[in-house]
Amino acid sequence: MALQLGDEAPDFTAETTEGTVHFHEWLDGGWGVLFSHPKDFTPVCTTELGAVAKLKPEFDKRGAKVIGLSVDPLDAHEGWSKDIKDVTGAAPNFPMIADPDRSVADLYGMIHPKAADTTTVRSVFVIGPDKKVKLTLTYPASTGRNFEELLRVLDSLQLTAKHQVSTPADWKQGDDVIIVPAVSDEDAQQRFPGFKTVKPYLRTTPQPTG
Ligand code: BEZ
């Protein structure tokens, strides 16, 4: 069965461009983003890896480690890295898993045989400090992902993990948030004084800080 939100992210040991990674140990109790690429030396993947490399400081700021995967071997990843720098101006500055036997890809259900037999789809798994899967995304090979969106999701996940709030459509840092229905009006008054009742089931408040 496909991995679902709340499942523990499966542990694995794999060779990467930054040495052997024991996944749970590598996560080190923090946030992690694991994402797959169908194949090395392919156009969309090249642009994606450059994009992630440029955003790496933003993932760092959020305490989130990033790790990519492709079913090609390590020497291919290393050669490709130079092309990625040529094309995008940034070489991968995070580990890329070499998964030629597809063991990690299979563990995470990244191969969808009806889409492609031997290469992965574009999967993303965001993993929380409790090692549980917090988000899954599946894009087809033909569509490059929006990695800014992953930063936005991390902001939301990190905020909602700390406060009893959720985030509305298109929310971004600094926008108002929603008080979860489980919080009574009395508790909300204590915790979010001056909150706004749009509908009895939709109460908003400025983004909590701290
Ligand atoms: C690409 O990255 O452009 C790509 C990879 C595999 C299949 C199709 C496109």
pLDDT digits (tens, 9 = 90+) for 141-159: 999 999 999 999 999 999 9
The Cα 197–Cα 185 span in angstroms is 9
| Cβ pair 44, 141 in contact under 8 A | yes
Q: What is the CA radius of gyration of the chain?
A: 19
**Active-site residue numbers?**
45
| CA 119 to ligand 1 centroid distance, Å | 9
Low-confidence ranges of the chain (pLDDT < 50): none
CB under 6 Å to ligand 1: residues? 38-39, 42-45, 119, 141-142
Instruction: Tell which one of 37, 40, 42, 80 to mutate to probe ligand 1, the residue whose CB is within 8 A of the most ligand atoms.
Output: 42
| CA 110 to ligand 1 centroid distance, Å | 15
pLDDT of residue 84: 98
The two tokens of residue 63 are: 């305490």
pLDDT digits (tens, 9 = 90+) for 72-89: 999 999 999 999 999 999
| Cβ pair 163, 157 in contact under 8 A | no
pTM of the prediction? 0.96
